[in-house]
Amino acid sequence: MARRGETIELAVLGLLHEGPMHGYELRKRLNLMLGWGRVLSYGSLYPTLKKMLRSSLIEETSVSSTPVTKRPRIVYQVTEAGHVEFERLMSEVGPTAWEDDNFDIRFAFFGRTDMEIRLRVLEGRRTRLQERLDRVQQQLAMTQKEVDRYAAELQRHGVESVEREVRWLSDLINAERGNAAAAPESSSSTETGSRHS
């Protein structure tokens, strides 16, 4: 449960970097980010927001009410401490960065992450999935004769899903490395061009 709270905190901080948002908008954006399998309720979001307010990671302001409602709307925005915490969380590299619960959220904010950190997280995720794939394939080979055709089909589907994600991660890693290799070449050619002009 604590890890889920940290994941929601990271997502909230990342979204509020784009600008202030009210609770409904935050929840809608978080649900899009988390995907259909992990719908976020207000019962999960608001305790996290309250905790983040107590920790001074975010602050709330009231926006004037609309003609339809008399109550002012509460809008959340990230504080300086929230910016620092977001940077700290995004720079962490370790097993929690590439676990199922956290990887998707981290990936959504990769644009604000250093390339070396992105590579380490992608490689960690790929290694973890490759280990999972090896384990599942061994189990599949052992249980193939013991399970009916539907259970075997479900196992095969699981293997194919993990294989597809491993290929996707490998493509991302290769693209990151390609961009890293191209960056020094382009800067050295710029320097060479400026020396000749």
The predicted pLDDT at position 98 comes to: 86
- Identify which has the larger pLDDT, 186 or 136: 136
2, pLDDT greater than 60 = no
How sure is the predictor about 68, in pLDDT bands with cuts at 50, 70 and 90?
low
- Identify which has the larger pLDDT, 130 or 102: 130
Looking at residue 49, its amino acid is: L
The predicted pLDDT at position 144 comes to: 67
- Identify which has the larger pLDDT, 58 or 94: 58
φ/ψ of 30, rounded to 5, equals -65, -40
Distance CA 175, CA 7 (A): 26
Distance CA 181, CA 172 (A): 14
Looking at residue 93, its amino acid is: V
195, pLDDT greater than 50 = no
The predicted pLDDT at position 120 comes to: 94
Q: What is the pLDDT of residues 37-61, one digit of tens each?
A: 566 777 778 888 999 999 999 999 9
- Identify which has the larger pLDDT, 32 or 173: 173
How sure is the predictor about 164, in pLDDT bands with cuts at 50, 70 and 90?
very high
- Identify which has the larger pLDDT, 34 or 122: 122
How sure is the predictor about 32, in pLDDT bands with cuts at 50, 70 and 90?
confident
The predicted pLDDT at position 196 comes to: 46
- Name the nearest CA neighbour of 42 among 31, 54, 58: 31
Distance CA 172, CA 162 (A): 15
